[in-house]
Structure 1
Amino acid sequence: WSPASGFVLSREPASLSLSLPASLPTCDLYQNQALRLCLGSTSVGGQYGAISALSINNDCSRLLCGFAKGQITMWDLASGKLLRSITDAHPPGTAILHIKFTDDPTLAICNDSGGSILVIGLKPSLKVWMTFPYGRMDPSSVPLLAWHFVAVHNYVNPMLAFCRGDVVHFLLVKRDESGAIHVTKQKHLHLYYDLINFTWINSRTVVLLDSVEKLHVIDRQTQEELETVEISEVQLVYNSSHFKSLATGGNVSQALALVGEKACYQSISSYGGQIFYLGTKSVYVMMLRSWRERVDHLLKQDCLTEALALAWSFHEGKAKAVVGLSGDASKRKAVVADRMVEILFHYADRALKKCPDQGKIQVMEQHFQDMVPVIVDYCLLLERKDLLFSQMYDKLSENSVAKGVFLECLEPYILSDKLVGMTPQVMKDLIVHFQDKKLMENVEALIVHMDITSLDIQQVVLMCWENRLYDAMIYVYNRGMNEFISPMEKLFRVIAPPLNAGRTQPTTKSPTLFSFFSPSCCLAGRAYPLGDIPEDLVPLVKNQVFEFLIRLHSAEASPEEEIYPYVRTLLHFDTREFLNVLALTFEDFKNDKQAVEYQQRIVDILLKVMVENSDFTPSQVGCLFTFLARQLAKPDNTLFVNRTLFDQVLEFLCSPDDDSRHSERQQVLLELLQAGGIVQFEESRLIRMAEKAEFYQICEFMYEREHQYDKIIDCYLRDPLREEEVFNYIHNILSIPGHSAEEKQSVWQKAMDHIEVLIQLKLLKLLHLYGYDPNQVYATAYVFYPF
């Protein structure tokens, strides 16, 4: 029995034409692996030789056969009759190597071993659109061409892959709006092996056969090699005898004979994602597994996690070499999602069945911690919360350990806002589970990220108050009832008396902290503890909070309660931060007439509470006037503050009768001046009071404004904390550009006036450095010390 010399696939399903055997001009037609027709006879074998090329037209009605001695025959595939024999379509004495029908069933193209291409009745005339040099290559390398339609930028156009040797080039052919054809190079693929066949499986996947008969499955876009398969057992049929034209005496060029060593054009054909390889004894069919088969293959190996991961890559369109998924993206996702749901049910059953029957509880927990998160992950990725919180939750609840692990798995998704809503039953079980484990801080963190509609508001508020979950309580009031004032009143009622009396310090769980940040966030348009207030509610909430803060007394005020308790409490808690929040709020409301009235009102209240009360420290009072100075310095300022109040603050900060907090008072006044408050003072009076209070940094600030740099030397020398810095100051004035000659001269003269003091300072510094007693060596060192 002799091997076939070539074969061709029909577009008709399960049809295949083979030329058998290599030495005879017969062609067998198989359908569903059953012989249907045997075309030709042995009587003309000596005249035509073996069949060397085959081609079937588009409607599968005609078969062209090319022969080793150059003849061409056409057959009717319906009746099996010979329609014509063509003996003069090309120069005699050469074998037919290729023959192809065109889109027109009456036109065909053939190529022979003489190295020429002949066009039979093809119109219009051929036109060259692009030329591309091969470059250096092995002369025995097989030239290859392969077309396929490819989607690029939402347009489907033909793409030509051509290669010879180890480099594949891809060219895209497209027609523009004017009808002109353009050929553009897309990319090229460098290989480490020589090719003898190139086949498209689909628009994204190609299969390459190298010279050692190894298949390489390549993803075209990423150029990643997905798989390799050894096919030497196929015993592939090569077309060497035809390329060498042995049937006609071997009259071919040396180049063609070299190529013929590896030529297998007529032995490989593809259709519908399948590749057919003609071996010496069999025809082998190879194809990529469909996406479903690939998933099922992993399931059969009990690799459920890997199967889910692969299915998800199909769902997201990230998998390569995909076969069997058609339609638009939404349809493809729906098909894959259905299969993933089936796997998830199987996975949940497996998790319960594989659970250890006995042993430590930690072993069971670890088992479910390894498996349950996978179910949660994929249900949420598939946006199937209905499945997660119904069937999956019910199934896993059969095991108490699995149920607990399931509930704990939800925590990171809730905290990252990937899971907001859930069924009331699951929500209730979740809170109870964390309560039972004494994880109340976790409960609070979860509540403030949840959809409030899934909570029993009354029950949650009671739980929050009992467990001091103030964040959660404020969140439930704000989000559940759009109520922003009630939680503030509750918290202020608890913390105001001890805080105003100075008997409490806020901690991380202190209601003081929450009573401060809640109104502060509301004034800034932010929800507490996270998020933003709905835009349509922001003006209303800000007005409500302002009205709340400026209340003269609280709802259940005692006779001893001081006026404006809420503002007073916030100022006692963190003066600077509260004033910063007010500054931001003023900025937001600068174009609101009502807000301008609120600004003036709250400024008047701040002054009344802080200036007329001795409970506040100099630093706190200074913060208030620094805040006021910044507001008054704005070009669009509408606030009015009596200037005498600034004078009172100056008297308060510079009071010579109070030596306590000297540095604090000086720093507060300095910040006030730097914030623009200097315009509120008479400068000469300010300097006198600063000198009297020994506020030398204030004096320096004022002298520097007047360029009286020489007087600043006195400020350093009189300040025990900064006297040694005088040397750097003098050096900077004398050496750094930017000061006039007169200014430098005055500084130099002042330094000379204080030369003795300066030398003593420097000497004392050196003596202390080396451990000597200054009183013993001062006189001697003074004589020799150069300034």
Structure 2
Amino acid sequence: MPSVLSSSGATLPSPSKTTQAMTADAHSRLPSLDFSDDVTDDIEQDDHPGDYSTRMEELFDDDEEVEHKDVSEDEVDSEEDGGFVYNGADAEQADGTYDDRLRDILGADPEDDDEVDEVEVERSLLHDAPDVQSEAGMKPEVPHDLQGQASVSFPYPCLAAYIVTYQRGQYLNVESRTNTPSPLSMQLSLPMTPPRMDSPMPDGSPSILGKPFLHPTVSRLRSYVPRSSGVPSTTSADTIQSQFYGNMSPAPSHFSALSPTLSATNLRALSEKHEFAAHSYDESRREVFRWTQLRKLGQYIFAKVPHKASAILGSAPPGSPTVLAANGLICVGTDTGRVYVFDFKQTLKWICGDANSEKTVGPVTALALSHDHSFVAVGHAFGHIQLFDLARPQTPVRFVPPTSLAAVASGRKEGHLLGSRIVNVDFVAGRHTAIVSADDVGLAFYHSLGKVLFVDASDVLRILGKYPDEDPPVPPHFSLPKTNGSPAPPPPVRRRRSRKANTILAMAPLPLGTAPHATDAYNVVALLTAAKLVIVGLRPSPKTWYRRHRSEDDEQMGKSKYRAALAWFPSVFVDASRTAKKGEKVPPAESTVPLLVYSWGSSLNLIRVSESKTMEKSINSRTGKTMTVEVGHLTFQEAASWSAQDDVLAIQWLNPNQIVVITASTLNVFDVRTSQLVEQVHFDASTLVSPTLASTASGTVSLADARSDVAHSVRTYKGKIFFLGPHEVQVGMLLTWADRILTLVDEGDFLNAIDLAQSYYLGTAHGNKNGLPDDAHQLKAVVGERIRQLMAASTQYAFSEERMTDATHITPDGRGVDRTSLFESLTATCTRACIALDDFDFLYEDLFQSYDDAGIARIYLEQLETFILNGDIQYVPPRITQRLIAMHSEDDHPDHAERVIWHIDPECLDINQAIGLCQKYQLYDALIYVYTRALKDYVSPLVELLGLIRKVMQDRRERLLRSESSSPSECLQETMRSTVLNAYKIFPYLAAVLCGLTYPSEEPLDPDESFKAKRDIYTFLFFGRSSVWPLGEDGKLVFTADEEGGVEPTYPYCRLLLRFDAEAFLHSLDMAFEDPYLNDETQGVTRLIIVKILLELVSTPNLSNADITFVNIFIARNVPKYPQFIQIPPSALHNILIGLARDPDQSTREDRQLAAEYLLSVYTPHESDRILRIFEEAHFYRILRSWYSQEHAVGPLTPGLRARSRSPCCRGLPKRRRYLPESLSAK
């Protein structure tokens, strides 16, 4: 990878439960992967109880010689008594006899077989393990799916019918996943043997050739029986020996190790140079609020002026702040009784009260600013209320003094009692002289502060609460300013009584909003106590409209009983989502309904308020007539409820959708539409000012209550939060989605800005989403445009000349800064964004051109490749794909190019480039993919692979003619080994395509394409003479003769595959026979035609005895499976039966016997005596026992032979009563 340096210059059958348990147990005992060369580790792993290869070789070394001889009576008896059972330390304890255990494992009908055959079948499945070692000085190339794993299930069943376990450079364990020759679900397998492995030859000399292509437990022509868990599976197996290349193993395909969609783990294992730093946005560093300290304002409020200096200067000290109001102006009340009013430029505009007089009515405990920002209402600690006109702030324009119980009892006055602390005061609607107030003894009043003939005429209405039995306490030093005479002497000081349930914890009138609403005419006020919520309307006449009692038990609530808060949000206009077109009327703006949010303890509740109209009859007091009039009623809808993590101390509205909630330790933002917490930051509520904290010294207020009384220090206005602390005033802004993105852009972090915008686009972003459209399409349109702008800006920034020479690239040593990671991350980030947008124009045009112009296109291609291999991108323009493949070709990494070809859309490939590359480096899996998926050509892969097979057959012929003393060079052996490995790919290819699947992914083909592919392959493969391919003028004859210019035989391609590996070829055909394509006789090629061609080829002298045997097995097993399609003369069947019995190869005896059983189910032979003698000579004891059992023969039968035959396929034998021959009785 270059450095960019800038300076200041198909499915397998489900195994049985026992087999599953056996496999799971074997996997659990496998050691972990370790590629070190430590000898001690090797010894420990070789002695591992899960590795049975050495033990099985020791146990069955002598069995190979006995396997080809007649079993003596003593040996058979000993085997029948117990059979072979593994008794190792990890063996499962089995109850019952060997027959019982075998019956449990093999299925429903194991009783039809005798122990002799079971032992023979068992022995036939035991094979020596190869001593496979990696080449000296080289570590084996392990498929990526095998790295870091003990066992791997391959993604393609057709290519991996058994699991291969890799350990210490050896493939130790091969476990078949197939239980018996079965339908299409048993797929062709391709052992994943490392490409450079040595295995011993029969003479002991090392050979570069691996094991054979097809394992006998996988071949559909074999008679494999599942093994019990007591007998471990072998580590490797000998299969049919094909002349000089019988030990050949196919090449490991890159496609077997790479699934179409690689996992992230596999991607990390591909190559270090493909790793990139994912600039995913780090939520831990996310800024939620942006805070600003109002320092200029603090110079007035928090000025520390000594008392002596104030006396000398003749000015009163400012005192300490107690409460805050911020709606248009910033008002701060102090404990000296004065109110300081600032504008938002932090300029001190007014001081309410005589700034030079120490005569006040006590500390300010409640504060409100009128709707038009012209009047200030102030509540004090001992029940006084003052109303200031900011035009004349020195003296109050209205003054509401407290009263006493005696005055109330006489009926002369109504109002707050002297000594009661005003806890809430606020203006009603838009009036200046109409206020509501509440105190700490549970009384709430409505004050209409008017004048009659220039004389104050206040109208006070009690709207909630009852007067206490005695007056509240007042400090002895407290004195009131004179108002119409001297005040009555204060009552004696007493400690405050415990709080009652009727204590008013919060009160607020419904303010006017930007949109008029019917509820404005009712002058609605909400009051919250520890026991109930009450909503009253003051107009047209005072009335309680809503009441809700708290449901919690007082004893269970504890301190949370007196934790409550509420806040209104008025009706406002919502921005219209659509603008009027020319000639259209502007659509009316929508408005919201008034909302009330309130809390008790940690529970939050939301109420919507609206008006409903009803027609009612009323009597006119003047005329006495009954009239029907429309009467309005307030309706309340409980919209939502949710809980915070702790008791709520204060609530304020940020906007129509969000509220800010203060608890003792957190600052929370809730979305009322979803009732979800969208933001939460740590916040210490004790840093806010409490107006009652000073009262804790006298004991009138507890410290816990004072510390939680912070609601008057929290205010919001136009989306901003104001906090009043003991030493500072702060204003905070909740960052919107656009703010967070712009913050990153301002910091120069474009990549994180793109990632953050992408998360908003996908709906995965955490936190505040206010300001984004609710409609998903509108949201994607808004955010998508922002993403495109960010990508363009970040690219321009990364490649700008100014940035390449700015101060950020200067280092002390003058060498500059390596910015490779920046350009890598830019490609990765933009790729992820384009994937999310599903718009790749910028990625493939502008971004690639910038990298190409800068000469660093390699960085772009390497990062893009990661997304291609991960399956995130399937389509890439051919010009970019061409550059990517050419880059790997130049680097001599054909395996990387093969991965790209496999994962890319075929339409994106440069076909000539891809085919040339695959042929040059022998990437036949990729070559097949290009031919079949890009060109829809299914015959060309056959032609390519048949050419390899011809080379192999020619080399075999040369080796036969070569003197034994001479041996091919090591280079030649390696070349031929690679050729053989690739040639074997023809069999899984045939199996997949003829079953209607793609190769090698085994995805279903389109029906029309599948039909054409099968037709082309069958026509080419079973054509009677050599064909020209490709069709047209440029076509050439495809030859198969071993010698150049030799005579081409009939059916050359089918014959060549039989000569190369008959079992593998017939295995593929056996699967293809199950496809319904061959049911249609009009297609030209049917099962019967194929069988007749095979019979004709068998009659010629070109095939070996082993090849003929497998052809006979194939026909014998398929004739009874398809009797309506395969009908051949009895004479041919008779010859097949005789051929199966007279083959002297003992390694295929069980396979031939099973095939004979299949054939006897539909064919009844003549000359039964002769047939029986032939079967005795062939040791087909299972067939003989079945026949004699059906005839009720009497003779010295052993207990095992008395059992019924396992197979019912011997019904074709003639029924004759006779005694068993002595030879069979002895068995």
Instruction: Give the TM-score, by structure 1 length.
Output: 0.70
Contact 1:6/1:54 (<8 A) preserved: no
Shift of 1:279: 4.8
Partner Cα distance (1:600, 1:286) in 2? 86
1:394 aligns to 2:849 (yes or no):
yes
- Over aligned residues, Cα RMSD in angstroms? 5.4
In structure 2, relative to structure 1, the CA distance for the partners of 1:57 and 1:455 (3 Å cut) is farther
Partner Cα distance (1:435, 1:306) in 2? 34
The corresponding residue for 1:644 is 1131
Tell me which of the two structures has the higher relative contact order, counting C-alpha pairs closer than 8 angstroms and 6 or more residues apart. Answer: 2
Letter in 2 for 1:607: L
Partner Cα distance (1:112, 1:185) in 2? 18
In structure 2, relative to structure 1, the CA distance for the partners of 1:74 and 1:607 (3 Å cut) is farther
1:547 aligns to 2:1039 (yes or no):
no
Q: 2:536 aligns with which of 119, 134, 138?
A: 119
Partner Cα distance (2:593, 2:1099) in 1? 81
Partner Cα distance (1:147, 1:630) in 2? 85
Partner Cα distance (2:524, 2:457) in 1? 15
1:72 aligns to 2:72 (yes or no):
no
1:482 aligns to 2:936 (yes or no):
yes
The corresponding residue for 1:385 is 840
Partner Cα distance (1:114, 1:447) in 2? 72
The percentage of aligned residue pairs carrying the same residue is 20
Letter in 2 for 1:640: Q
In structure 2, relative to structure 1, the CA distance for the partners of 1:197 and 1:52 (3 Å cut) is closer
The DSSP-based 3-state class of the residue aligned with 2:508 is strand
Letter in 2 for 1:601: I
Q: 1:521 aligns with which of 992, 998, 1023?
A: 992
Q: Deviations over 1:69-99 (max 9, x none)?
A: 85534699xxxxx998543444576898513
Q: 2:892 aligns with which of 430, 434, 438?
A: 438
1:292 aligns to 2:292 (yes or no):
no
In structure 2, relative to structure 1, the CA distance for the partners of 1:312 and 1:37 (3 Å cut) is same
The corresponding residue for 1:694 is 1179
Contact 1:464/1:473 (<8 A) preserved: yes
Q: 1:143 aligns with which of 564, 568, 592?
A: 564
Partner Cα distance (1:199, 1:704) in 2? 95
Shift of 1:552: 0.8
Q: Greater shift after overlay, 66-75 or 563-572?
A: 66-75
In structure 2, relative to structure 1, the CA distance for the partners of 1:209 and 1:543 (3 Å cut) is same
List alignment gaps of at least 5 residues for structure 1.
77-81, 150-155, 715-728, 735-749, 759-787
Shift of 1:403: 2.6
Shift of 1:473: 3.5
The corresponding residue for 2:857 is 403
Contact 1:423/1:454 (<8 A) preserved: yes
The corresponding residue for 2:1089 is 601
Partner Cα distance (1:25, 1:569) in 2? 108
Shift of 1:337: 1.9
Contact 2:510/2:525 (<8 A) preserved: yes
Partner Cα distance (1:709, 1:224) in 2? 89
In structure 2, relative to structure 1, the CA distance for the partners of 1:29 and 1:366 (3 Å cut) is closer
1:662 aligns to 2:1159 (yes or no):
no
The corresponding residue for 2:617 is none
The DSSP-based 3-state class of the residue aligned with 1:551 is coil
The corresponding residue for 1:672 is 1155
Contact 2:1137/2:1159 (<8 A) preserved: no
Contact 2:323/2:689 (<8 A) preserved: no
Q: Deviations over 1:27-67 (max 9, x none)?
A: 97967878652353426436268974355678899974426
Partner Cα distance (1:280, 1:582) in 2? 89
Q: Deviations over 1:586-640 (max 9, x none)?
A: 433266453595232222212222354451443x444444444444334773221
Letter in 1 for 2:795: F
The DSSP-based 3-state class of the residue aligned with 1:435 is helix
Q: Deviations over 1:135-184 (max 9, x none)?
A: 342267512457999xxxxxx9999976555x446789999xxxx99979
Partner Cα distance (1:487, 1:536) in 2? 19
Contact 1:26/1:38 (<8 A) preserved: no
Partner Cα distance (1:5, 1:420) in 2? 65
The DSSP-based 3-state class of the residue aligned with 2:374 is strand
Alignment of 1:176-255 (within 5 A): 188-191=643-646, 194-199=647-652, 207-211=660-664, 215=667, 226-230=680-684, 235-238=688-691
The corresponding residue for 2:901 is 447
Contact 1:26/1:51 (<8 A) preserved: no
In structure 2, relative to structure 1, the CA distance for the partners of 1:671 and 1:73 (3 Å cut) is farther
The DSSP-based 3-state class of the residue aligned with 1:105 is helix
Contact 2:566/2:599 (<8 A) preserved: yes
Instruction: Give the TM-score, by structure 2 length.
Output: 0.47
Shift of 1:288: 1.9
Partner Cα distance (2:980, 2:658) in 1? 61
Q: 1:537 aligns with which of 1001, 1009, 1013?
A: 1009
Alignment of 1:292-691 (within 5 A): 292-298=738-744, 306-327=752-773, 328-329=775-776, 330-338=780-788, 340-342=790-792, 344-345=794-795, 348-349=798-799, 373-398=828-853, 400=855, 402-493=856-947, 495-496=949-950, 498-499=952-953, 502-503=956-957, 507=978, 512-530=983-1001, 531-555=1003-1027, 556=1037, 560-589=1047-1076, 592-595=1080-1083, 598-613=1086-1101, 615-618=1103-1106, 620-634=1107-1121, 637-655=1124-1142, 659=1144, 661-664=1145-1148, 666-673=1149-1156, 675=1158, 678-682=1161-1165, 686-691=1171-1176
Partner Cα distance (2:423, 2:866) in 1? 67
Contact 1:16/1:31 (<8 A) preserved: yes
The corresponding residue for 1:87 is 461
The DSSP-based 3-state class of the residue aligned with 1:215 is strand
Q: Deviations over 1:213-251 (max 9, x none)?
A: 753568998869742134655x4244689999x9xxx9x
Contact 1:206/1:217 (<8 A) preserved: yes
The corresponding residue for 1:768 is none
Q: Deviations over 1:404-442 (max 9, x none)?
A: 233223333323432222233322221221111111232
Partner Cα distance (1:509, 1:63) in 2? 100
In structure 2, relative to structure 1, the CA distance for the partners of 1:524 and 1:238 (3 Å cut) is farther
Q: Deviations over 1:514-548 (max 9, x none)?
A: 44444443322223444554333222222122211
Contact 2:535/2:546 (<8 A) preserved: no
The corresponding residue for 2:375 is 38
Contact 2:449/2:459 (<8 A) preserved: no
The DSSP-based 3-state class of the residue aligned with 2:558 is coil
In structure 2, relative to structure 1, the CA distance for the partners of 1:221 and 1:125 (3 Å cut) is closer
List alignment gaps of at least 5 residues for structure 2.
1-317, 350-372, 377-386, 389-395, 403-415, 451-455, 469-502, 512-518, 571-591, 611-634, 960-975, 1028-1036, 1040-1044, 1205-1219
Contact 1:129/1:183 (<8 A) preserved: no
Shift of 1:267: 3.7
Shift of 1:560: 1.2
Larger helix share, 1 or 2:
1
Letter in 1 for 2:994: L
Partner Cα distance (1:158, 1:98) in 2? 16
